[in-house]
Structure 1
Amino acid sequence: MAHLLGVESVRVTVGPRTLLDGVNLGIEEGERIGVLGPNGAGKSTLLSLLAGARTPDGGRVTRAGGTRAVMLTQADQFAPDATVRTAVHGDAPEHQWASDPAVRDIHAGLLPDLDLDAGLASLSGGQRRRVALAATLTADANLVILDEPTNHLDVEGVDWLARHLAARFSRRRAAGALVTVTHDRWFLDAVCTHVWEVVPGVDPGGDRPQIPGRVETYDGGYAAYVLARAERARQAAAAAEKRENLLRKELAWLRRGAPARTSKPRFRIDAAEALIADVPPPRDTVELTAMATARLGKKVIDLEDVSVEFPDPAAPAGKREVLRSVTWRLAPGERVGVVGVNGAGKTTLLRLLEGTQEPTRGRVVRGKTVAVATLSQTTHELDPLADARVVDAVAMVGGRVTVGDRELTAAQLVERLGFTRSRAWTRVGEISGGERRRLQLLRLLMGQPNVLLLDEPTNDLDTDTLTAVEDLLDTFPGTLVVVSHDRYLLERVTDHQIALLGDGTIRDLPGGVDQYLRLRREAQAAAAAEPGPRRNPSAQERGGAALHAARKQLASIERRLDKATARIDELHQRMEQASARLQVEELTALGKQLAQAEAEQADLEAQWLQAAEAAEAAEY
C-alpha cells in the first residue's frame, strides 16, 4: 500500500504547556484509523496537524505527492447565504456530480429528506451537521479526516456511515485513508483497522518537569484496542489498579456480550479468554432485580392504551398522532434501550414516563414509591451553578449515596466518575462539556432515584468516561430507560431494546439493534417499490451470492485453522516427550515440523483476515 502521510518527532505546545511531544506516526492507503483519548488530551489538535491546518512547534509532517486531505471539524463553517447544494457541491453543475454513484449514495444516506435549494440558516443543527459531513465525503481528497462524525446522527445514520467508510477505504480498493475521532465504540469496531490513543501529559507539580502527552498505536478496532491496552497495563504492573479493573470488566462484556462483539479472528479469542477467565459477569441481573423490587414494589410505570397527538397543519386532520394505542409496562429492575427514527416519539415517550407529558387518550399509572430522574440532552440546568465548585454542586443534592453495597460521599462519587482532585474543586462554569455531562449525571444519582431516564447520555463524553459511567450504571438497582444512537452503550447497559418505527406503535426487538436496522431497510425498500415519483437509487445493494461464497470460504479457513492449531499442540506435546527422553534427533525433526506448522498457521491467519474483509465488502 502507498504511503500517504508521515509524522516525525512532532511537538505541539499550547502556551507554557507541551501538549504532545515525540510523536511518530504513519498513514498508508487502505487504513482506517480511530483516535481516542480523554477530553483535552489533544485529539482535535492532532487532526489539525494531519490536515495541514496547524504547524507543529517541533518535528515535521510530510505528505506524499498527490495526497489531498479534507477535514470535518466539530464547528460547521458555511457562508451565511449558502444552500444545501452550494455547501456540498459548490458551483459544480448538477450533471457533473449527479452522475457519480458514490455521490448519489452519499445523498441517499445523509440528505434523503432535504431540499437541495434550502438555505442552511433554516436547517436544524443536526441537519447542518449532515450537510457538513456530506460536503466532506464528496470532496476530492484521498485522506479524509473526521472529528466526531457521528454527532447528531441517529442509529441508521451511524450504520450507513460505517458501511460507507468501510467499503470506501478498504485495502483492496486502496482509495485513500481515513482518520476519525469518535466516542462511538460500535462505530470504531465496525470501521477502524487501527487505533491511536492520545495519552495526556502529566504535571507532577513542584519543580519537577512536565511529562508531555504522547500517542500510542494499536492494531484492530475498539475490541482489539481494549484487549491490547489491558494487556499492556497488566505487564506494566499495578500503577493504575482501579483503571485496569474497569478495562478487565469491559473485556468480560466484550467476550460475553452481543454476537457482533465476538466476531473476531478465532486465533485472538483464546488470548482474550485467558485474560478474562477469572472476571465475574459485568452485572448480576438477579441481584439487581431483587434490589429494585424491594425499593420499587411490583408496579413501576404502566402506559395503558396511550395515544399522543400534536397539532400539525400539514396533516390531513390538522394533527399528527405520534403514539397510537400503546400499552407498555416497565418492570422493577428492567433495563431497556429505545431506538427509533427522528420524530417517531422517543422524547415524547420519555416525557410520558417522566410525567411532564399527558396522553391525549389512555392513562399512565405509576407505582406509589416511584422516584424518576431524567438526564436531558442539554446541560442548561447547571447554568445557575456556574460559581459553585463541582463537589459542592453534587453535595447540594445529597451528602452520601449508596452504590451497590457501598456508601459513597459526594467527593468519592465525583472521583469515581473521573474528576481529579483539582478538577473536583473547579468552578462549574469553567469545566468542559464532557465534565458538565458527568456532573449532570452525578447530581441525578445523588438524589437516589429508582427510575432513571437517559436521553442521549453519550454526548460530549470520551471513551474512558463512558466506561466509568457504564460501570456506575451496572450497580444502579432501579429501572433504567436509555434513548441513544450509541449501539455499544445500548447493548452494554440494557438487557433488551424496543423500537419506535414512526407508525405510532412500540415494537420489541429480540434481535436488538440489528433487527431494528433490518426492519428499517425493509420498510424503505417497500416504500421505494410503491408507485410514485422515482427516488435516487442506493448503491448499498447486497450481493447475496458473493456474500454466501465469502462466508463459505471463511468457514473453510476457520476449519483449517482449527486443524493447524491442533497440529501445533500435538507437536508441542511430542517435543516435551522427546525432551524427557533426551532424543536429540527426534527433537530436531519435530522442531522443523513445528516451524512448518506455525508458518502454515500464520498463512491461514492472513487468509482469514482477507476472507473476513471480502465478506464485509460483500455484505456492504
Structure 2
Amino acid sequence: MAHLLGADGISLRIATRTLLSGVSLGLDDGDRVGVVGPNGAGKSTLLRILAGRSEADAGRVTRVGGSTLGMLDQRDEVPADTTILDLVHGTADTHEWASDARIRSVHEGLLADLDLNTQVNTLSGGQRRRVALAGLLAEDPDILLLDEPTNHLDVEGVAWLADHLAERYGRAGARGALVVVTHDRWFLDAVCTRMWEVRGDGTGEVDGYDGGYAAYILARAERSRLAAVTAEKRNNLLRKELAWLHRGAKARTSKPKFRLDAAAALIDDEPPPRDTLELTQMATRRLGKDVLDLEDVTLSLGGKVLFDDVTWRLGPGDRYGIVGVNGAGKTTLLALLAGRRTPDSGRVKRGKTIEVAQLSQEVRELDDLGHLTAVQVVERERGRIEIDGKELTAAQLTERLGFTRERAYTVVSSLSGGERRRLQLLRLLVAEPNVLLLDEPTNDLDTDTLAALEDLLDGWPGTLIVVSHDRYLLERVADRQVALLGDGRIRDLPGGVEEYLRLRRAGAGSAGASSSATASTTSSGTGPTEGGEPVTTGTEPSQADIRAAKKTISRIERRLGRIAEEEAKLHDEMAAQATDFGAVGRLDERLKELATEKEELEMAWLEAAEVAG
C-alpha cells in the first residue's frame, strides 16, 4: 500500500503540560484509524498538527506530493452570505455533481431536509456541522481527518456515515486514508481497522492498536494485565532491596554501591499512573408502584403535532432507550416526564415517591456557577455523602470522578466541555434520584468516562430513560427501545435500533403508519396496549425479549453473588459476637431479609430463564 502521510518525532507542550512527546505515526492507503483518549489529552490537537493547521514544538509532518487532505474541525467558520450549495459544491455546475451517484448519496444522507439555497449562518449548529461534513465528503480527499463527526447526527445519520466511510476508504484498491476522533464506540467498531490512543497521562505518548474499538479494549486490558505482572515483580525486587539496605547499622555504612544503585533504579522506574475515574452509585430513594404515566397526551410545538393521544406507562426499574428523527420530540418527551412542560391535553401522572433528575444536552446550566470551583459546585448540592459506610466530602467525590486536585479547585468557567459534563453527572448523583432522564449523555465524554457511566447504570435500581444516538450505550444500559418517528406516536422497537433503521428505510414514519406498532407500554413491559391494558399475543418471545431476559439473568446472578458474600460475612460476625445477644439478633434480622430477597430473585431468574430459553 502506498504511503500517504507521516509524522516523525512530534512534540508539543502547552504551558507546563506535555501533550505529545516524540510521537511518530504513519498513514497508508486503506488505513481507517480511530483516535481515543481522555478529555483534554490532545486528540484534536494531534489532528490539527497532522492537517498542518497547528505547529508542533518539534518534529515534522510529511505528505506525499499530489495527495489531497480535508479536515472537519469542531470549530465551524463560514464566510457571511455563504449558501449550503456554495459551501458543498463551490462554483461547480449542477450537472457536474448531480450526475455523480456518490455525491447524490451524500445529499441523501446529510442534506435531505435542507434547502440548498439557505445561508449557512442561519442554520443551527447541528445543521452547519452536517453541511461542513457533506462538503468534505463531496470533495473526496485522499486523507480525511474528522473531529467528532457524529455529533448532532441521529442514529440513522451515524449508520449512513459509517457505511459511506467504510465503503469509500475500505474497498479493495481504494486510495486514501481516514483518521477520526469520536466517542461513538459503535462507529469506531463499524469503520476503523486501527486505533491510536492519546494517553493524556503526562508522558505525551500515543499507543497504536490493531482492530476497532472492541479489539482496542481487549488489547488494552492485556497490556494492563502484563503491566500489573511487571509491577508485582518490580515490587518484589524493591522489597528485597529495601530489606537488605535496612539490615543493621554497621551494614548501612558499607553497602556496596551497586546495591544502592539497584534500589534507586527500581524507585526511579515507577511508571506514571493513569488517571483513575470512578462513578459511584449514591443511595437511591425508594420507588413506589407508580412512577410516571403519560395518559392520552397530546402536545403541539410550533404548529407541529409531536404527540397525538399518546399513552405510555413507566414502572419501577424500567429501562428505556429512545431514538428518533431530529425534531420528533425526544427532548420534549423528557421535559414532559420531568414536569417542565405540560401537555395540551391529557395528563402526566407522577408517583408520590419519585425524585427525578435530568442530564440535559447542554452544559449552559453551569454558566451561572462559572465563578465557583468544581468542589464548591458539588458542596452546594451536598457537602458530605455516605457511600459503602464511608463518609466522603465533595473534594473526595470530585477526585473519584477523575478530577485532579488542581482541576477540582479550578473555576467552572475554565473547565473543558468534558469536565463540565462530568460535573453535571456528579450533581445528579449526589441528589440521590430514583428516576434518571439522560438526554444525549455521551456528548463531550471520553470513552473511559462512558465506560464508567455504563458500569454505574448497569446496577441502577431506579427507572432510567436515555435519549441517545449512541447505539453502544443504548444496547448496553437499556432493556427496551422505543422510537419517535415524527408521526405523533411512541413506537415500540422489539428489534432494537436495527428495527428502527429498517422502519426508517421503509418510510414507516409517515402519518398513515399502522397504529398497531404504537408503544403505549405498561410498566410490566408486556408490550403494546389497548385502552391502557396489556395485549397478550401468545407469540414466541422476540429477540429483544430474549436479550432483555439474558440481561436480567446476568443482573440477578451478580446480585445473588453479592448476597452470598454478605451472608458469609454476617455468619462470621455472628460467630465473633456470639455472646452479644442484641448484635446477634440484628445480624439474624439482616440474614432473614437477604433470604427473602434471594427467594424473590431466584423466582425472577426462573421466569427470565424461560424466556431466554
* TM-score bin, normalised by smaller chain: 0.7 to 0.9
Q: Which of these residues, 342, 354, 362, is aligned with residue 378 of structure 1? A: 362
Partner of 1:231: 222
Check the 8 A contact 2:78/2:121 in 1, yes or no.
no
Partner of 2:155: 155
Partner of 2:262: none
Deviates more, 1:468-477 or 1:443-452: 468-477
Q: Does 1:298 align with 2:292?
A: no
Paired amino acid for 1:351: A
Partner of 2:59: 59
CA distance in 1, matches of 2:229, 2:434: 36
Partner of 1:193: 193
CA distance in 2, matches of 1:120, 1:196: 33
CA distance in 2, matches of 1:420, 1:476: 26
1:484-495, aligned counterparts within 5 Å? 484-495=468-479
Check the 8 A contact 2:69/2:144 in 1, yes or no.
yes
Q: Does 1:109 align with 2:114?
A: no
Partner of 1:281: none
Secondary structure, in 3 states, of the residue corresponding to 1:116?
coil
Cα deviation digits, residues 79-116 of structure 1 (max 9, x gap): 11100000111111111111111111101100001111
Partner of 1:260: none
Partner of 1:363: 347
Partner of 1:94: 94
1:320-331, aligned counterparts within 5 Å? 320-331=304-315
CA distance in 1, matches of 2:509, 2:178: 30
Are the structure 2 counterparts of residues 141 and 334 from structure 1 closer, same or farther at C-alpha, using a change threshold of 3 Å?
same
Deviates more, 1:336-345 or 1:58-67: 58-67
The alpha-carbon deviation at position 396 of structure 1 amounts to 1.2
Secondary structure, in 3 states, of the residue corresponding to 1:520?
helix
Paired amino acid for 2:213: Y
Secondary structure, in 3 states, of the residue corresponding to 2:486?
coil
Partner of 1:219: 210
Are the structure 2 counterparts of residues 51 and 349 from structure 1 closer, same or farther at C-alpha, using a change threshold of 3 Å?
same
Check the 8 A contact 1:400/1:446 in 2, yes or no.
no
The alpha-carbon deviation at position 460 of structure 1 amounts to 1.1
1:414-429, aligned counterparts within 5 Å? 414-429=398-413
Paired amino acid for 2:218: L
Are the structure 2 counterparts of residues 461 and 366 from structure 1 closer, same or farther at C-alpha, using a change threshold of 3 Å?
same
CA distance in 2, matches of 1:98, 1:522: 24
CA distance in 2, matches of 1:474, 1:344: 28
Partner of 1:546: none
Paired amino acid for 1:376: S
Check the 8 A contact 1:301/1:330 in 2, yes or no.
yes
Partner of 2:602: none
Partner of 2:421: 437
Partner of 1:449: 433
User: What is the number of equivalent residue pairs in this alignment?
Assistant: 463
Check the 8 A contact 1:404/1:476 in 2, yes or no.
no
Paired amino acid for 1:492: R
Check the 8 A contact 1:109/1:157 in 2, yes or no.
yes
1:465-476, aligned counterparts within 5 Å? 465-476=449-460
Are the structure 2 counterparts of residues 405 and 238 from structure 1 closer, same or farther at C-alpha, using a change threshold of 3 Å?
farther
Paired amino acid for 2:210: D
Paired amino acid for 2:372: A
Partner of 2:300: 309
Secondary structure, in 3 states, of the residue corresponding to 1:357?
coil
Paired amino acid for 2:103: V
CA distance in 2, matches of 1:16, 1:300: 51
Partner of 1:71: 71
Are the structure 2 counterparts of residues 524 and 51 from structure 1 closer, same or farther at C-alpha, using a change threshold of 3 Å?
farther
CA distance in 1, matches of 2:469, 2:370: 30
Partner of 1:556: none
CA distance in 2, matches of 1:392, 1:296: 30
Secondary structure, in 3 states, of the residue corresponding to 1:60?
strand
CA distance in 2, matches of 1:416, 1:329: 35
Check the 8 A contact 1:403/1:475 in 2, yes or no.
no
Cα deviation digits, residues 195-234 of structure 1 (max 9, x gap): 00001242xxxxxxxxx31110001111000000011011
Q: Does 1:480 align with 2:464?
A: yes
CA distance in 2, matches of 1:125, 1:347: 17
The alpha-carbon deviation at position 459 of structure 1 amounts to 1.1
Deviates more, 1:232-241 or 1:333-342: 232-241
CA distance in 2, matches of 1:411, 1:118: 49
CA distance in 2, matches of 1:17, 1:299: 52
Paired amino acid for 2:226: Q
The alpha-carbon deviation at position 402 of structure 1 amounts to 5.6
Check the 8 A contact 1:31/1:171 in 2, yes or no.
no
Are the structure 2 counterparts of residues 353 and 405 from structure 1 closer, same or farther at C-alpha, using a change threshold of 3 Å?
farther
Are the structure 2 counterparts of residues 64 and 372 from structure 1 closer, same or farther at C-alpha, using a change threshold of 3 Å?
same
The alpha-carbon deviation at position 440 of structure 1 amounts to 1.0
CA distance in 1, matches of 2:497, 2:509: 18
Secondary structure, in 3 states, of the residue corresponding to 1:295?
coil
CA distance in 2, matches of 1:466, 1:421: 22
Are the structure 2 counterparts of residues 98 and 524 from structure 1 closer, same or farther at C-alpha, using a change threshold of 3 Å?
farther
CA distance in 2, matches of 1:15, 1:425: 18
Partner of 1:259: none
Check the 8 A contact 1:403/1:476 in 2, yes or no.
no
CA distance in 2, matches of 1:498, 1:407: 39
Are the structure 2 counterparts of residues 414 and 117 from structure 1 closer, same or farther at C-alpha, using a change threshold of 3 Å?
same
Are the structure 2 counterparts of residues 234 and 475 from structure 1 closer, same or farther at C-alpha, using a change threshold of 3 Å?
same
Are the structure 2 counterparts of residues 407 and 511 from structure 1 closer, same or farther at C-alpha, using a change threshold of 3 Å?
farther
Are the structure 2 counterparts of residues 417 and 472 from structure 1 closer, same or farther at C-alpha, using a change threshold of 3 Å?
farther
CA distance in 2, matches of 1:373, 1:16: 38
Larger Rg belongs to: 2
Check the 8 A contact 1:417/1:469 in 2, yes or no.
no
Secondary structure, in 3 states, of the residue corresponding to 2:343?
coil
Cα deviation digits, residues 562-603 of structure 1 (max 9, x gap): xxxxxxxxxxxxxxxxxxxxxxxxxxxxxxxxxxxxxxxxxx
Partner of 2:260: none
Are the structure 2 counterparts of residues 526 and 301 from structure 1 closer, same or farther at C-alpha, using a change threshold of 3 Å?
closer
The alpha-carbon deviation at position 526 of structure 1 amounts to 8.9
CA distance in 2, matches of 1:192, 1:223: 10
Gap regions ≥5 residues in structure 1: 203-211, 242-287, 313-319, 528-620
CA distance in 2, matches of 1:16, 1:392: 26
Cα deviation digits, residues 287-312 of structure 1 (max 9, x gap): x9xx97x8111110011121112352
Check the 8 A contact 2:487/2:509 in 1, yes or no.
no
CA distance in 2, matches of 1:494, 1:406: 30
Q: Which of these residues, 313, 316, 319, is aligned with residue 335 of structure 1? A: 319
Paired amino acid for 1:183: H
Deviates more, 1:216-225 or 1:463-472: 463-472
Please report the RMSD computed on the Cα atoms of aligned residues, expressed in angstroms.
Answer: 2.3
Cα deviation digits, residues 497-522 of structure 1 (max 9, x gap): 11111111111112111111111111
Paired amino acid for 1:219: D
CA distance in 2, matches of 1:400, 1:510: 42
Check the 8 A contact 2:486/2:509 in 1, yes or no.
no
Relative to the length of structure 1, the TM-score reads 0.71
Are the structure 2 counterparts of residues 214 and 491 from structure 1 closer, same or farther at C-alpha, using a change threshold of 3 Å?
same
Are the structure 2 counterparts of residues 403 and 2 from structure 1 closer, same or farther at C-alpha, using a change threshold of 3 Å?
farther
Secondary structure, in 3 states, of the residue corresponding to 1:237?
helix
CA distance in 1, matches of 2:323, 2:341: 19
Q: Which of these residues, 468, 474, 481, is aligned with residue 497 of structure 1? A: 481
CA distance in 1, matches of 2:113, 2:198: 37
